[in-house]
Amino acid sequence: METHIPAEVVIWVRVPVRAFSIEVSYRFINFHIIHSCTSILVVAVNATSLP
């Protein structure tokens, strides 16, 4: 027997959870982009500084 949860409660819970997951994934993606750019920069600098 399943309990019926009101739609307001579902929306009230789902919206912050979705916003939070979007925020986390956005920061995670940004971190990866920054990390990748830094790695590429380091490799480029090392390559150009080689004799």
> What does the alpha-carbon distance between residue 22 and residue 29 come to, in Å, rounded to a whole number?
10
Structure-block tokens of residue 34: 């920054």
* Exposed/middle/buried for residue 9 (C-beta within 10 Å: 0-12, 13-18, 19+): exposed
Q: Using CA atoms in the order 19, 21, 25, 26, what is the torsion angle rounded to 10 degrees?
A: 10
Query: What per-residue confidence (pLDDT) applies to 49?
Result: 81
Per-residue pLDDT tens for 5-19?
A: 788 888 888 999 999
pLDDT at position 51 over 70 = no
Query: What per-residue confidence (pLDDT) applies to 43?
Result: 92
